[in-house]
Chain A
Amino acid sequence: MKRVRSNDAANPVLIFWIIAGLVGFCLLPWYGIEDFFQFEWLTDGYPFDDDYAPGAFLIAQGQKLWLAPFLVPLLMPLLVLRRAKTDPIYSKILILAGALGFGWLIIQGFSIGIRGWNFSWMEAAFGELDDRQFGMGYGALICASSFLFIFTQGIAARGAINGDVFVVSSIGGVVVIVTAFVFFPIAKMLTAAFITQDGGYSLAVFASKFFDDRLWGLGCLSGGRCGVAWNSLFLAVMVGFLTTVLGLFFALIVTRSGFRYKKVLRALTVLPVITPPFVIGLALILLFGLSGTVTVFFADLFGVQPTRWLYGLPGVLIAQTLAFTPIAFLVLIGVVEGVSPSMEEAAQTLRASKWQVFKTVSLPLMRPGLANAFLLGFIESMADFGNPLVLGGNFDVLSTEIFFAIVGAQYDQGKAAVLAMVLLSFTLGAFYAQRFWLGKKSYTTVSGKGDSGVHPHMPSALSVPVLMIALGWAAFTIVVYLMIFYGSVVELWGVNNTLTLKHYGTAFSVRFDDEGIRWTGAAWNSFWTTLQIAGIAAPLTAIVGLITAYLLTRQTFAGKNAFEFGTMLSFAIPGTVIGVSYILAFNVPPIEITGTGIILVVSFIFRNMPVGVRAGIASMSQLDKSLDESSLTLGANSWQTFRRVILPLLRPAILAALVYSFVRAMTAISAVIFLVSAEYDMATSYIIGRVENNDYGLAIAYSTTLIFVMLSVVLAMQLIVGRINIGRRAANGSGEKT
């Protein structure tokens, strides 16, 4: 997009989108094509073949006549090309054209599906339609963008946000994609809960599924079994509590003790983030299962019968606490460091004992951090899929029940939808509880004034037990990870402990022959797919996240709060729910992307976007607004300011978002398991298949490899971040993206 130089000449941005719309309608295939980018369709009957024809060619041949109305909004903007932006006609025509085009696109997309009319009342009203349409393709996508941005230009021309086309268009774009890929699937899934066997809608169906004893039963109070909802809730609260406490202990040791090996502790925190989800569960089985190393050792020592105590609540609880404590630590370390030492010093000067200072000053000031850490642990536990699957025994939780409602022999999408609603209401409820608990008190302690104090050490009555527990836990984590590595190099764990590299060979063997390298290992296929998908998703996530962050920190507009809620919502939605809602929403036109790589990329973008937004907000609020203002005063528009001034200063945040979304895309399982297909199989779903097949050696070898791959990516990224921090002073402001 270029800057508008004068109001009299035709607006180049407008011309661009008019042309784009026409290209989308007249040149590109309107409907989706398999293997679009192999361009076979170009020589295979394009542009007259039904499957490959652009919209214009379809109408010209008298087919799909419901596409004809698009010509009006496509051509309408040409009327105002010579008019000034300030002319009220200009904005009116553009708004009308954009709204008409976009609105009609949605209406026709939802009305006509692969079996003609989608709704029976339409068939009743308009008679039977002897035609059908498939999912939209690139032609439709370009047209949709064209309508959207013509609409936003009209809005901007009316004077919204100072007539800033870039900002209005960004808001429009973000709103549309979040609606399409977060709200639409969730809404679609919620309606599935009300659908009866023969396709009608009924509240009774929902009620019978919702008030099921299996969901809410309280049998465990009287020795039986409790409903899944209570199981999940109880587990999530326990995990939230334990991870917060342990995370706080680690944070206290790192900031407020004389402990020497702080760096080792910090390094430990990276590990679980880059660990594929069920690996910890496997290691726990190999240690504490009925025939686990530790179990057998103690059984022999005390002469007791080994038991299956691990399977069920204890196992899941241990595995999740191991996995999520570092996340709590990462949240808490910032907060614990952020409590201004001057407050604590003031209390000490007033003769408070160390213990009093900690209890009445430090701890209350950490409240937001504690609440955040608890919330994260709670949500992660609710959404966790791998550990309950491996260790759950008869302790069923919502996330696995949702999975088996969909894939089980009963195949009950409605039940899955109801369970997903319960899960979603728990996580959203936790969000609101957290806000309520924090209230409107101020926890700000860092002001612009100099603050040179040092954090006091913990009182020793506290530091000794804290150190003991934290070190014990750290040692446990190390043992678990050593076990994981050991498990990947033995023949058959527990039966034959000969050292071998054969599992790595099976997974990653290569052969050299005349045609070059042949990737013969069983894991290569899913490995490359995973790298590819994660590699595409990461930059897109960062872009969407940072643009959203920019809008939230730097612009004010009506409905900003709702906008913020919408963009953060996907964070509170567990992956299983995303997975279910995506197959329900995107297996049928108008957006038909199940079975493609696109659906994986899209799911990762919207799963991980909130973190990009948060990272962007955090660093953008550190950049003084005067930088933007001086850029704007010097005549740049907001797009140039964003690209030339803000983006280069944001590189650390960009890289953080990149690393996070890359790593999450490689380790995610809960949503992915629903979305993988023959062509696009991901590493995690492949590994879980091996686990199911009792092939622990291969599963663990693959996971270990993934851990090392991600470790090197994270380290490489950190090196780059470091260099850029220095480079920033060299006043080198070239505006490369990502």
Chain B
Amino acid sequence: MKTNTKIRVTFGATALALMTATNAAYADKLTFYCSAQEDWCQLMANSFQDATGIEVAMTRKSSGETFAQIKAESSNPRGDVWWGGTGDPHLQAAEEGLTAEYISPMREQLHPWAISQAESADNKTIGIYSGALGFGYNSDLLAANGLSTPACWKDLLKPEFKGHVQMANPNSSGTAYTTLATMVQLFGEDDGFDFMAGLHANINQYTKSGSAPIKAAGRGENTIGIVFLHDAVKQAVSGFPVEPVAPCEGTGYEIGSMSIIDGARNMDSAKAFYDWALSTDAQNLALQVNAFQVPSNMNAETSPSAPDMSQIKLIDYDFRTYGSSETRQRLLKKWDDEVSILPQ
């Protein structure tokens, strides 16, 4: 076609460069939003591609960012499946109808907590791993400052820790919101907020991302970070002087989740990924990248370095209530109005 050639010349510059060098014709595709750590995301994407031949395009963003993106794109979805990240934004997405219902044939192999996560969201999400909340400290800095070793949540309120504790801002981080919700469930709403207010006096910085406090502790930029225990273990295994602590009063936990995006363009690929991600093979991959969460498949292996969930006092975390956007907005507003403005 002669005319077509003309157009092609007109847009030649753009065309040539936008064309990808390798052009696998008619390959199945999957747009994969990943909210776990980068290397884990990479490994999941590559392994799934190897296992099925489906071409995977992966973006890693934090769970808050991904939720924002899926919501922004809701009138015209671009992602297919969303894997990883703390469960609350997944529950919120389910509540807002951003994700699709799906019951996987793999379900019978899962721990009960993974299935109850699905049931609390009309089967629009499912648990893929879980991890307990806690804190970690930099043992070098603790010694250098002559501080006592904290073992309980209430220890963190001691005046000696002033300027030594870091946590994320609950407004921007799912981890920090889990902390807030845990305190409310553990101590009751009034005492929980008193705890947060007391903690506020010792906080040196509210970071934006959830695991930043323990990373800062690892590098020696901070003494104590309130994070998920598997994040603290990971820093210790990477060679940083970090000690994880499971608080004596008991603690909350997260269920890392996976959801299929409603109106996904490659729905079949998304379901294939969903089933694959619940298999033992896929869940064992976590060990290769030092991800120390507890996998949701009962037959998957757990790392010896991972925190032993049976030794941790877990509270009966109410995901349905505390994951709902109503409770969430109320607690966040209360924290904003009553805690964050206090002098430090």
Contact = CB atoms under 8 A, between A and B. Distances in A.
B137 interface: no
A311 B60 contact: no
A595 B31 CA distance: 11
Interface stretch (B172-180, B246-254, B300-308, B310-318): B172-180
B7 interface: yes
Interface string B50-75: 00000001111110110110011101
A410 interface: yes
A223 B218 contact: no
B221 A114 contact: no
Contacts of B173: 409
A492 interface: yes
Contacts of B32: 678
Contact of B78 (A134, A407, A595): A595
B343 A224 contact: yes
A689 B38 contact: yes
A494 B138 CA distance: 13
B145 A305 contact: yes
B64 A407 contact: yes
Given A291-B220, A694-B218, A409 B170 contact: yes
Given A290-B220, A409-B174, A689-B60, A38 B75 contact: no
Given A407-B62, A583-B72, A693 B343 contact: no
A27 interface: yes
Contact of B177 (A289, A400, A409, A692): A409
Nearest to A395: B205
Contact of A393 (B4, B20, B73, B205): B205
B42 to A, nearest CB: 7
Contacts of B329: 410
B23 A38 contact: yes
Interface stretch (B117-125, B153-161, B208-216, B291-299): B208-216
A127 B209 CA distance: 48
A411 B7 contact: no
A308 B204 CA distance: 9
A40 B76 contact: no
B172 A27 contact: no
Interface string B264-284: 000000000000000000000
Contacts of B61: 407
Contacts of B14: 536, 598, 601
Interface string B106-126: 000000000000000000000
A732 interface: no
A19 interface: yes
Contacts of B239: 492, 495-496
A592 to B, nearest CB: 7
A492 B238 contact: yes
Contacts of B143: none
A20 B7 CA distance: 8
Contact of B76 (A223, A289, A406, A587): A587
Contacts of A38: 19-20, 23, 25
A299 to B, nearest CB: 9
B324 interface: no
B206 interface: yes
Contacts of B174: 409
A536 B33 CA distance: 27
Majority secondary structure of chain B interface residues (helix, strand, loop or mixed): mixed
B78 A677 contact: yes
A138 B170 CA distance: 45
A532 B219 contact: no
Size range of the interface on B? 35 or more
A115 to B, nearest CB: 7
A374 B25 CA distance: 54
Nearest to B3: A23
Given A305-B145, A495-B240, A27 B76 contact: no
A588 interface: yes
Given A224-B343, A495-B240, A27 B4 contact: yes
Interface in A12-50: 19-20, 23, 27-28, 37-38, 40
A588 B172 contact: no
A409 B13 contact: no
A673 B145 CA distance: 39
A594 B74 CA distance: 13
A410 B171 contact: yes
A677 B328 CA distance: 29
Contacts of A690: 38
A142 interface: yes
B67 A411 contact: yes
A285 B221 contact: yes
A407 B76 contact: no
Contact of B19 (A20, A37, A389, A693): A37
A678 B212 contact: no
A485 interface: no
A535 B145 CA distance: 52
B219 A694 contact: yes
B267 to A, nearest CB: 16
Contact of A678 (B20, B59, B68): B59
A696 B206 CA distance: 21
A106 B212 CA distance: 47
Contacts of A128: none
Name which of A134, A540, A595, A695 has the most chain B CB atoms within 10 A of its CB.
A595
A62 interface: no
Nearest to B25: A40
B254 to A, nearest CB: 14
Nearest to B59: A678
B209 A588 contact: no
A249 to B, nearest CB: 33
B73 A587 contact: yes
The 9 residue pairs across chains A and B that have the minimum distance between CB atoms? A291-B220, A678-B57, A694-B215, A407-B65, A408-B172, A678-B59, A37-B19, A290-B221, A536-B17
29 contacts: A19-B3, A23-B6, A27-B3, A27-B4, A37-B19, A114-B75, A138-B11, A290-B222, A291-B141, A291-B221, A393-B205, A407-B68, A408-B64, A409-B67, A409-B171, A413-B72, A495-B241, A536-B17, A592-B76, A594-B78, A601-B14, A677-B59, A678-B32, A679-B57, A681-B59, A690-B38, A693-B38, A693-B215, A694-B215
Given A290-B141, A532-B17, 6 more contacts: A20-B7, A23-B7, A138-B7, A308-B163, A407-B64, A409-B177
Interface of A: 19-20, 23, 27-28, 37-38, 40, 113-115, 134, 138, 142, 223-224, 285, 289-291, 305, 308, 311, 389, 393-394, 400, 404, 406-411, 413, 492-496, 522, 532, 535-536, 539-540, 583, 587-588, 592, 594-595, 597-598, 601, 676-679, 681, 689-690, 692-696
